[in-house]
Amino acid sequence: MPLSEPTTSPRAPASRGSVVISVDAMGGDRGPAAVVAGIAESADKNPDIRFIVHGPRAELERMIARRSGLAARCDIRDAQGVVTMGDKPSQVLRKGEGTSMWSTVESVRNGEATVAVSCGNTGALMALSMLRLRKLPGVNRPAIACLWPSRNPQGFNVMLDVGADIRADAQDLLTYALMGASYARNGLGLARPRVGLLNVGTEEHKGRAELKQAHELIGPAAQVANFDYIGFVEGGDLPSARVDVIVTDGFTGNVALKTGEGTAKLIADFLKDAFGNSVMSKFAALLAMTSLKRLQKRIDPRRVNGGVFLGLNGTVVKSHGSADATGVSAAIKLAFQLAQSGFQDRLAARVAQSLGPEAGGELISKGAS
């Protein structure tokens, strides 16, 4: 079996040099200026991306015109409505047509763009994406996958679900394992990712009933779907070099993600305090600037900016609400990599192959027998 994903795709993957990304200019905490600045940064770095940008036309035209050469790379879609951080997903589903977020997803739905990027309200974006893109056959619960700074050569591990749904049964966890492995292959370039299931201990008898069931399902599936299953992992393993993909339910994943971010922020603040405390240590901090910058680069959340929605008929990248130009640019870079690898079609084929298009698990049993 080849190491790459099966390529029996209904749509041809985007060829090099022609990737179109659909970007929601509105809904982030820093407004459209930060998003346009991020688009400009990406455009400068990568001549192969074109953009469809969604939001109020007059405002966006003005902002884009100020950046040299950018207007020619951007197609602006007028959308006057904005989904705010406080909007409930159910409201957005009912009244969201005409918002920049709806329009952004629509460009992926109708095939104009390969991947959508938004800094807006996560719950609303997931609800809209599910409504308009629909779930992939065989997927019961879509998931959000995030990148986690790690000791691995690739620099990051994948964790999913980090908040698409607050619960997951054994079959959902199996689907997450398949989707997470596919994401690691296409997004991080790992030929044979190692997948672990998050639990409170590594012994087989530990944890909730659905985890023990998932443990029984994922092992056999790994052989068919071309990844290694390493069994249960613990919270301390999230940045570990013994695993590449960590599978968990969206409640636990969301708490873990925010706990990790909060801890990193706490230490960064303590570090700042420590170095600001005396003339001697300020001088030392000055000398150590290069080292400190190197450290910051390794754990900078802006560099790992972009939760990816998996399990839909189309790929959506959720950028942090507070993302600045660097953050938006990182999310666009991720979207570009996924688009270029033909990720969406590979993922769909992998799920179909492993789970069967209708009833889940059938092919897996055959594969394991």
Where does this chain bind a copy of itself (CB under 8 A)?
88, 149-151, 163, 166-167, 198, 200, 205, 207-208, 234-240, 248, 250-252, 254-267, 269-271, 273-275, 277-278, 280-281, 283-288, 290-292, 294-295, 298-299
Least distance from C-beta 124 to a copy of itself, angstroms? 13
Residue with smaller CB distance to a copy of itself, 11 or 297: 297
SS3 call for 156: strand
Total residue length of the chain = 369
DSSP structure class, residue 6: P
Q: Degrees (nearest 5) of the Cα angle 330, 260, 139? A: 70
Residue with smaller CB distance to a copy of itself, 33 or 255: 255
For residues 351 and 139, give the distance between their C-alpha atoms in angstroms, rounded to a whole number: 8
Residue with smaller CB distance to a copy of itself, 319 or 344: 319
For residues 18 and 51, give the distance between their C-alpha atoms in angstroms, rounded to a whole number: 10
Burial 27-42 (b: 16+ CB within 10 A, else e): bbebbbebbbbbbbbb
Least distance from C-beta 220 to a copy of itself, angstroms? 25
Least distance from C-beta 140 to a copy of itself, angstroms? 18
The end-to-end CA distance of the chain, in Å, is 18
Least distance from C-beta 256 to a copy of itself, angstroms? 5
Least distance from C-beta 270 to a copy of itself, angstroms? 5
Q: Report how many helices (DSSP H) and strands (DSSP E) the chain contains, helices first.
A: 13, 11
For residues 21 and 115, give the distance between their C-alpha atoms in angstroms, rounded to a whole number: 5
Residue with smaller CB distance to a copy of itself, 104 or 122: 122
- Mind giving me the DSSP string for 289-351? HHHHHHHHHHH-GGGG--EEEESBSSEEEE--TT--HHHHHHHHHHHHHHHHTTHHHHHHHHH
Residue with smaller CB distance to a copy of itself, 58 or 286: 286
Residue with smaller CB distance to a copy of itself, 192 or 258: 258
Least distance from C-beta 51 to a copy of itself, angstroms? 31
Residue with smaller CB distance to a copy of itself, 224 or 255: 255
Least distance from C-beta 219 to a copy of itself, angstroms? 21
